[in-house]
């Protein structure tokens, strides 16, 4: 097949204009190979009948006017995984291994661009996925095939919780995990790799990384490369856990990419296509008749501002919202969930059953009353409360301590062995505290323990 040949006519940073013969333009998102350069160009838009505007996927240094470009005839592709070939491997946006463990055996490659499944192909599971983390299983249970957002500012434990979930699901469920590292620090990727290796769950995980130092084009496409691998596994009747760290960085890469292409920004400088960019990714994370994709997404909240447009754009796509709080972290409540702000569509009488629903609602009620009493307690002390309010405060304190838990991921730092607690044991513990069985037990006896 004859390849389309073009010539670079302008280089402006990472934006490269390439001239082809009239009506010979390559399709949008195709990759162009530049003569004597390792950098690939992605066709982003057409400027006229013979000129296209491209984005350099990598360093633009060394690209010059007059250089010859050749259409590769395809967009970005990743290996189509047979079950075990990609497990335990780290890939870049192009599906190439970057872990020094040699080439990947699979020959077949698939484009990262794919239409989301139609409504008739999709399937809805009303089955709760147990995580072994008490506070999550009780307050915001995850649905199999659902989408979960871990919201929080810097340093409140999003990546730690994400790693813990990878560990628990691989450890107990024997499922396959696909992890997309979008715009995160190289140090974090290295730590994650070592953590998964130490906990013996790397063998069930595929990592796709586009780190902070990469160009916006690469960071933006990394999420699509990872979701394409997850889709391929799902279509082979696998149940996949899909982890993204971090959706905010994905939105930021999209903003940088749009700014480079000269698009007019909207509120706070975000691209006008912010909602549709996030929607294109989220719509593909779907469960079908063949298999399921359950997605857990870390979402950085800039300056702890939940009204930021990038944060608001993610809310409509999520089934469970887990809010991590700086205040809870400061009090030593790990995982640092803000129980009153976190929610899940799965916490429904029809889905979790009467006992779970009743206990979770009662726990939230006690914690809400305790929060309302905080002002009086801080000024006058707990002794000035009525007998009824004192009991509420006592039980709320004990419930919050019981819902802390040592994690497998933090064993190295805390010195405490991680524990996996079944939902049944979590419900039993909360029930006994609510019934007053531990009213006189010292708070330290309930702090950072497993089952009661």
Residues annotated catalytic, as ranges = 158, 184-185
- Identify whether the C-beta of residue 6 lies closer than 8 Å to the C-beta of residue 32: yes
Of the candidates 423, 449, 329, which has an alpha carbon nearest to the alpha carbon of residue 136? 423
Name the phi and psi angles at 12, rounded to 5. -130, 90
Give the count of beta carbons closer than 10 Å to the beta carbon of residue 1.
3
Is residue 357 within a helix (H) or strand (E), and if so which, with residue range? helix 354-380
Nearest partner of 253 among 273, 236, 235, 237, judged by Cα = 273
Angstrom distance (rounded) from CA 406 to CA 435: 25
- Residue pair 278/299 in contact (Cβ under 8 Å)? The answer is no
339: tokens are 């129980």
Q: How far is it, in rounded angstroms, from Cα 204 to Cα 227?
A: 16
Q: Please say whether the beta carbons of 287 and 231 come within 8 A.
A: no
Q: CA-CA distance, 117 to 104, in Å (whole number)? A: 28
SS3 201: coil
Buried b (16+ CB within 10 A) or exposed e, 217-242: bbbbbbbbbbbbbbbbbbeeebbbbb
d(CA 325, CA 98): 35
Please give the structure tokens belonging to residue 217. 């084009």
Annotate 177-202 with b (16+ C-beta within 10 A) or e (fewer). Answer: bbbbbbbbeeebbeebbebbeebebb
Candidates 79, 256, 245; CA nearest to 165 is 245
Judge contact between 201 and 170, C-beta under 8 A: yes
What backbone phi and psi angles, to 5 degrees, belong to 345? -70, -15
């Amino acid at each position: 097949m004859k390849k389309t040949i073009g010539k670079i006519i302008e280089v402006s940073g990472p934006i490269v204009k390439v001239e082809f013969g009239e009506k010979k333009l390559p399709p949008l998102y195709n990759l162009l190979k530049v003569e004597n350069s390792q950098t690939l160009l992605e066709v982003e838009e057409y400027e006229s009948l013979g000129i296209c505007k491209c984005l350099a996927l990598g360093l633009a240094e060394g690209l010059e006017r007059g250089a010859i470009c050749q259409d590769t005839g395809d967009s970005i592709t990743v290996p189509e995984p047979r079950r075990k070939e990609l497990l335990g491997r780290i890939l870049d946006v192009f599906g190439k291994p970057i872990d020094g463990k040699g080439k990947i055996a699979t020959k077949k490659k698939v484009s990262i661009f794919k239409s989301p499944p139609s409504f008739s192909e999709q399937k809805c599971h009303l089955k709760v996925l147990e995580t072994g983390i008490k506070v999550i299983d009780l307050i915001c249970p995850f649905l199999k095939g659902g989408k979960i957002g871990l919201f929080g500012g810097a340093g409140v434990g999003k990546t730690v919780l994400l790693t813990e979930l990878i560990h628990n699901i691989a450890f107990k469920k024997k499922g396959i995990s696909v992890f997309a590292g979008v715009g995160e620090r190289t140090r974090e990727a290295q730590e994650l790799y070592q953590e998964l290796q130490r906990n013996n769950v790397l063998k069930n995980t595929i990592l796709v990384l586009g780190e902070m130092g990469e160009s916006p084009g690469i960071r933006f496409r990394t999420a699509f490369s990872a979701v394409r691998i997850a889709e391929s596994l799902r279509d082979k009747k696998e149940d996949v856990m899909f982890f993204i760290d971090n959706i905010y960085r994905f939105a930021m890469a999209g903003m940088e990419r749009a700014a480079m292409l000269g698009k007019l920004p909207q509120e706070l400088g975000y691209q006008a296509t912010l909602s549709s960019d996030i929607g294109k990714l989220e719509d593909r994370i779907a469960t079908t008749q063949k298999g399921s994709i359950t997605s857990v997404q870390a979402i950085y909240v800039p300056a702890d501002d939940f009204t930021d447009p990038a944060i608001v754009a993610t809310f409509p796509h999520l089934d469970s919202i887990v809010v991590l709080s700086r205040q809870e972290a400061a009090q030593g409540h790990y995982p640092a969930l803000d129980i009153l702000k976190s929610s899940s569509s799965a916490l429904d009488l029809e889905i979790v059953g009467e006992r779970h629903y009743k206990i979770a609602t009662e726990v939230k009620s006690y914690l809400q009353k305790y929060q309302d009493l905080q002002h009086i307690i801080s000024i006058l002390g707990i002794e000035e409360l009525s007998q009824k309010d004192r009991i509420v405060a006592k039980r709320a304190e004990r419930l919050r301590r019981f819902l802390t838990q040592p994690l497998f991921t933090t064993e190295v730092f805390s010195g405490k062995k991680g524990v996996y607690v079944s939902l049944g044991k979590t419900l039993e513990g909360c029930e006994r505290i609510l019934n007053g069985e531990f009213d006189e037990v010292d708070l330290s006896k309930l702090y950072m323990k497993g089952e009661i």
